[in-house]
Amino acid sequence: MSTHPKRLIWFCETERVAEDLDSLTKLRDEIGLTTIMPESFVCHTSGFTASPEITKSGPFEDWRTRNQLHPRASQGIYPPVCGTVGGFDDTPLLGVIEKCRSIGIEVWGHLGLWSYGGDVYPEYAMMDIDQNPLDPKYKRWGIGLCPSRPNLVKWTRDCLVDVVKRYDIDGFDVDHSRYPAPGNLSSLFACACPSCQEEAGRMGYDFERMKTGLTHLRQSLRALTGKTIERALLGNPNFWQFLSVLGADPSVLEWFHFRAKVLARRMQEFRSAVQEAGGRDKVFGSDVFPPSISLLGGHLYEQWEQGSDFLTGGSSSGGVVGWATTVTNLASEWAPALCSVVDTLDESDALHLIYQLFGYDDFDLPRSVEGIEKEDLPIAEMYNREIVRMTAQTSGNRPIYPPISTSGPTGLVRQLCESVSSNQCDGMLFSGNPQSPDTLSSLKDAFASI
């Protein structure tokens, strides 16, 4: 049995909870809530006020003038960037922290990192191996910020240290600590900006060799034929075996390891800085992509565990980071891209291929992109597959708190909760504003059985 702390964490909206502080006591008493991770959807942190020193050195303070690139600026909505931006009033957050302190609930600070913001700040954006920006047609999956720019890394670290010194929080669950979701095909070839190239050299990687391997892979993909796919399918390949059929050499896998290790190093650096400033008891971790696509999104769990006190996720399904829908999300972008290079390939066959590459071909999944978007998917089964893979692919040295979105049908929420408890995870992180007695009892029952 795991000796990790058991946690039932609520990924909640700061302003909403601030208006109903009694909901915290209610959830603690009714379902065993241990922890909250509040986010303000206006400023994309928990609602911290940046200190004058942080604001003075902040690279993103001019966001209000960038409404061409960030139209929501006109509504006062901050862009998601890698730190705390000035001018936000922390009154709601302070009320939430005070309440949590008085009733024994932990507070994890929320702060975003790199997978968004590059469209608003092109001067800090990720660049691909040919020094091009990421393709804006994939914007829905994120246009990221470079994780290696020395001035940005320093500033983000300063933000975390500043927050942990000034706010009574128990640590951080950082968000966007990843590359854009792999549905953004162009992001798979990034970040290869000069700072990341320097980082590769420092880490002992041969950037030019990786670039040559990736360039060759891209050429092979563009020359892909229906015949090659047909032949490859006979061997029932996984994703990496399929790349080998295309002639990809080990430098391609090396590339994905390199980019994942860059992020893992940042996590280690940030965790050390936070614990040095705030004390060894401050936890530091993040959400991660689920196992089927984790490496493509920048997460190598074995490395991640070295800079994280726990692993969690953004949501159970839907959106950019939903664990259950991660392969169908990717397939909805990759299938049209494959069809555009292989004349003889139709969308149905392209989707079949992708499902197979990620070990999803035994599910009865839609054979059209429209179907993926509109039809009911076997969410509970797909979610369970990711949880099983997660527990199999991690060391057990760090607690795992999978994400549960509580806004779905109550029967589904119960199935998700049962997946978490039956796979011996250490708790869960739930989002939404659970009200229905069925949903509350699903959370309570699953948590009680852990």
Report the interface residues with Zn ion, using CB under 5 A: 146, 148, 191, 193, 195-196
Q: Select 60 or 401, whichever has its Cβ closest to Zn ion.
A: 60
Determine the Cα–Cα distance for residues 44 and 55; give it in Å rounded to an integer.
Answer: 16
In the chain, how many H helices and how many E strands?
A: 18, 9
Residues in the chain, overall count: 450
Write down the least CB distance from residue 126 to Zn ion, Å: 6
Q: Select 14 or 148, whichever has its Cβ closest to Zn ion.
A: 148
Q: At what angle do helices 326-341 and 379-393 cross, to 10 degrees?
A: 100
Query: In sequence order, what are the residues at sequence separation of 6 or more whose Cβ sits closer than 8 angstroms to the Cβ of residue 154?
Result: none
Token pair listed for 443: 């959370």
Token pair listed for 302: 């074995």
Q: What's the alpha-carbon Rg for the chain, to the nearest Å?
A: 22
Write down the least CB distance from residue 128 to Zn ion, Å: 10
Q: Are 70 and 36 in contact (CB under 8 A)?
A: no
Q: Select 134 or 159, whichever has its Cβ closest to Zn ion.
A: 134
Q: Select 144 or 408, whichever has its Cβ closest to Zn ion.
A: 144
In which element (H, E) is residue 428 found? strand 427-431
Write down the least CB distance from residue 187 to Zn ion, Å: 12
Nearest of 300, 264, 298, 299 to residue 284 by alpha carbon: 264
Determine the Cα–Cα distance for residues 248 and 252; give it in Å rounded to an integer.
Answer: 7
Q: Select 147 or 434, whichever has its Cβ closest to Zn ion.
A: 147
Q: Select 143 or 191, whichever has its Cβ closest to Zn ion.
A: 191
Write down the least CB distance from residue 431 to Zn ion, Å: 30
Residue corresponding to tokens 């992180």 = 429
Write down the least CB distance from residue 146 to Zn ion, Å: 3
Nearest of 372, 362, 379, 292 to residue 332 by alpha carbon: 372
Determine the Cα–Cα distance for residues 210 and 256; give it in Å rounded to an integer.
Answer: 10
Write down the least CB distance from residue 88 to Zn ion, Å: 27
Q: At what angle do helices 226-234 and 347-357 cross, to 10 degrees?
A: 40
Q: Select 193 or 372, whichever has its Cβ closest to Zn ion.
A: 193
Q: Are 448 and 422 in contact (CB under 8 A)?
A: no
Write down the least CB distance from residue 147 to Zn ion, Å: 6
Determine the Cα–Cα distance for residues 426 and 244; give it in Å rounded to an integer.
Answer: 37
* Residue 8: strand pairing partners: 428
Write down the least CB distance from residue 23 to Zn ion, Å: 41
Is residue 287 classed as helix, strand or coil in its secondary structure?
strand
Q: Select 129 or 400, whichever has its Cβ closest to Zn ion.
A: 129
In which element (H, E) is residue 349 found? helix 347-357
Q: Select 123 or 364, whichever has its Cβ closest to Zn ion.
A: 123
Q: Select 123 or 281, whichever has its Cβ closest to Zn ion.
A: 123
Write down the least CB distance from residue 277 to Zn ion, Å: 26
Please report the sign of the dihedral spanned by the C-alpha atoms of residue 38, residue 44, residue 50, residue 54.
positive
Write down the least CB distance from residue 218 to Zn ion, Å: 19
